[in-house]
Amino acid sequence: MAGRGRAPARPPAPPRSGSRGPGGPRPGEPERRQRWLIVVAVLVLTVFVGRLVQVQVFMGPALAADAQQKRLQTNVQVAHRGDIVDVNGNVLATSVDRYTIVGDQLAIQSFRGASRVDKATGDPVEDGALGVAQLLGPVLDEEPAALAAKLNGKDRYVVLARDVVPEVQRAIADLGLQAYVRTDLTSQRTYPAGEVAGPLVGFVNDDLGGQGGLERAYDDLLAGTDGTTTFERGRDGVMIPNAPVETVPAKPGSDVRLTVDRDVQWKAEELLDEAVSDTGAKYAMAVVSDVRTGEVLALADSGHVDPNDRSTADVANGSRAVKDVFEPGSTGKVVTMAAALEGGYWKPQSQFEVPYTYTTPNGQTFKDSHGHPVQRLTLAGVLAHSSNTGTVQIGEKIPEQVRYDYLRKFGFGEPSGLGLPGESAGILPDEESFAHDPRTPYTILFGQGVAVNAIQATQVFSTVANGGVRVEPSLFAGSQAPDGTFTPAPEPERTRVVSTETADSLMRMLESVVGDEGTAENARVPGYRVAGKTGTAQMWLPGGGTTYMASFIGVAPADDPRYTVSVFLRSPQSSIFGGVVAAPVFSDLMGYTLQKMDVPPSTTEPDPYDLEW
């Protein structure tokens, strides 16, 4: 066997096609391959079924609700705001229907105007925003090119015009653009009386919310509740036919009836404007109120304030008659006289020697407005001559706490009850500082050291004229619901301040002020007995300094009191004395009011007290 070797080994044969790798089916095993395919298919199917269950079962309600929400549109129906009317039903504020024109930019992109013709030019209407603008521009009195610029975009709510009158709204509806342009009903507040009672009535904002004066004070009654209409719409913005519609009707507001008489208010404002022009005063105010009921017939300011024109009228400031405060001055002496008589400290015929200057035991010196020799005056004479030094002598016998208490009883230092926005409660020192101040307990006797607004000053005289009973003043006569039901205002609060005997004595004393020897002959009203008091009061200015408030407050007929009228002029240039500049205005306004209300003339003569001894 020499020379013979072992034959070389053969190389391994390559694997056959279709042989399985690790874990796969082996060649010739189709059953195993089918099982793998089934497993994969089941896994894929399980994923799809799981996702389907998740979407339809778990997420389905939420997705459906979200889709429906996107289709829903809610339109608001603005509630009709109630009217404000005077005591006779004359409208001072009302609401009229207006429309807001709204464009849907997204829907406008699908507008096709090929079948339409521009009536102005005869040209075919373009597609999209330009075509809508061609039709809508002439109705809104706007250039189509400028309007088209507003209509381009993807915003679904673009305001094109506000406060559109119904005639224009109907013209827009006739264009057949409802799928692209909406006309939403709104409301606009108007004031038919214009400047009459402008500061008192106030104004509303763009959403018809009361922002000043009576509009704000009675906003809850006037406003009503807006309604809504909710519906489903398609991509073109049009309501889907037969789809559910949910409607909540609007509830109109109630009308508010005032105690104000439009004619008396107008006359008061006219007279005040004339007085400002004649005297050079910065401004003037007047109040007319019913002695028996506390109802205010006029709360007037000088100047021209028209709430229809908020761009130029200063309507936001409200009435100065409740906002501005000033020292009552000599009109405040009525409170001192009431305390002196009611407490039995003095009688109307009590006698005083009244010098030009007078010094109290604690060293406080006071003087009258005019120099004069020593006068021999009764208590009634001190009031008629408006003597500061005589009033201080009268007050010395009245305990300091009693002096303070009577200011409170007559309503100083607290809101009047009218409820107007921005009303000041006035200024009254607190009891502790009052008790430790050596001068103020004397200055308050003649109307200094305290501050009141015009309503508070007027109510002092109304209280005296009403037999000593203070009646809370009111501007609100009641409200009328949309169904016509009228709800009168609650009865005003009544508080006895002084006795009937004291009030009657004070009325006799106040008549002497308007008599031949008093300071207010200019306040007389032909045919009627008048009782009242002049005032020249200081008014503190913001930032320092003072000016004067000249006034006259009076009652007529004095023998059967019906109305109190007060007139105030700030910073008059012709004279600072109320008997000169305010009393003539009082005479005209009181005379007009008495005639307007058919009050019969006085049938008796005055019975004045002696003024001197």
Catalytic residues: 330
**Closest-CA residue to 76 (of 252, 254, 247, 253):** 247
Q: Beta-carbon neighbour count of residue 266 at 10 Å? A: 18
Cα distances (angstroms) measured from residue 124 to each of 117, 143, 171: 5, 17, 20
β-strand 546-556 against 563-570: which pairing, if any? antiparallel
- Rg, C-alpha atoms of the chain: 42
Q: Cβ contacts of residue 549 below 8 Å, gap of 6+?
A: 326, 327, 329, 535, 536, 537, 538, 539, 568, 569, 570
DSSP class per residue in 239-283: BPTT--EEEE--BPPPEEEES--HHHHHHHHHHHHHHHHHH--SE
Q: Cβ contacts of residue 552 below 8 Å, gap of 6+?
A: 520, 523, 532, 533, 534, 535, 566, 567, 578, 579, 582, 583, 585, 586
Neighbouring-strand partners of residue 596: none
Rounded to 5 degrees, what are φ and ψ at 503? -60, -40
Neighbouring-strand partners of residue 230: 74, 246
Rounded to 5 degrees, what are φ and ψ at 458? -65, -40
In single-letter form, the type of residue at position 298 comes to: A
- Helix, strand, coil percentages for the chain (3-state, nearest 5): 35, 25, 45
In single-letter form, the type of residue at position 604 comes to: T
Q: How many angstroms separate the CA atoms of 567 and 454, rounded?
A: 8
For 284, the enclosing helix (H) or strand (E) is strand 283-290
Q: Name the one residue in this structure whose structure tokens are 């009937």.
A: 500
Quote the tokens at residue 457.
């000053």
Q: How many angstroms separate the CA atoms of 547 and 551, rounded?
A: 13
Helix (H, G, I), strand (E, B) or coil at 43: helix
CA torsion 396-398-404-408 (nearest 10°) is -140
For 567, the enclosing helix (H) or strand (E) is strand 563-570
Quote the tokens at residue 262.
């439009």
604: Cα separation from own chain's centroid: 45
Helix (H, G, I), strand (E, B) or coil at 339: helix
Q: How many angstroms separate the CA atoms of 68 and 54, rounded?
A: 19
Cα distances (angstroms) measured from residue 108 to each of 112, 114, 153, 592: 9, 14, 9, 63
Buried b (16+ CB within 10 A) or exposed e, 541-563: eeeeeeebbbbbbbbbbbbebbb
Max Cα distance, the chain (Å): 183
437: Cα separation from own chain's centroid: 39
Q: Name the one residue in this structure whose structure tokens are 């009061």.
A: 537
Quote the tokens at residue 261.
């008489």
